[in-house]
Amino acid sequence: MIRSLFRKADANPAAPLYAELTAAARQPGWYRDAAVPDTMDGRYCVLATLLALADIRLAGGSEAERALSPRLTELFVADMDAQLCQSGMGDPTLGKTVRAMVAGVAARIARLEAAIASGEWEPALGFALYRDAEVGAAEQAAAAGLIEQWRARLERSAELGAAR
């Protein structure tokens, strides 16, 4: 118990995947080509969407990959906690806000699983990336292309979370 309090953040086996996820969420194409707002909220939408897709992939993977999913979520929670603290949010509202962010990821997982099953991506991406705001066809196509790149990256990996 005590040892876990002093565990290094990079000891989390999901750390390499989370680093890739955050790097993918920072790609300018999301904000330039796909017209996701370049705001804290817009960046959260991209990060939460990529995390949801990674969780879906992990859920369908090996036992080791399925075990990685909660560890990936731990990193997301710690990251969101730190980001919100840096933005000036205080302790009384921090936990509630982070819980709402995790619930947002869960909602994206449900919508994206339905999109994967049906092949109907437009409503799921509209919700996940734009919170159902209207966007043009070119922007939707750019977002769909970036999503497909991330999904292909996840599928190419023989074992997610393995040393890269």
Has residue 6 been placed in a domain? no
Percent of the chain with pLDDT over 90: 66
What's the pLDDT band for 163 if we cut at 50, 70, 90? very low
- Write out the two tokens for 78: 């710690």
pLDDT at 11 over 50: yes
Has residue 2 been placed in a domain? no
Domains contained in the chain, number: 1
- Write out the two tokens for 162: 């393995």
Contact 51, 69 (CB under 8 A): no
More confident of the two residues 67 and 98 = 67
Please name the residues in contact with 125: beta carbons below 8 A apart, sequence gap of 6 or more: 49, 115, 140, 143, 144, 147
pLDDT at 15 over 90: yes
Mean pLDDT of the chain: 87
Segments forming the whole domain that contains residue 68: 11-156
DSSP secondary structure, 89-156, as one string: --HHHHHHHHHHHHHHHHHHHHHHHHHHHH--HHHHHHHHHHTT----HHHHHHHHHHHHHHHHHHHH
pLDDT at 109: 95
* Average pLDDT value for residue range 15-28: 95
Contact 142, 33 (CB under 8 A): yes
Has residue 3 been placed in a domain? no
Task: State pLDDT tens for residues 84-102.
Answer: 778 776 677 767 877 888 8
Has residue 52 been placed in a domain? yes
Has residue 123 been placed in a domain? yes
Has residue 22 been placed in a domain? yes
Which helix (H) or strand (E) element contains residue 158? Answer: none
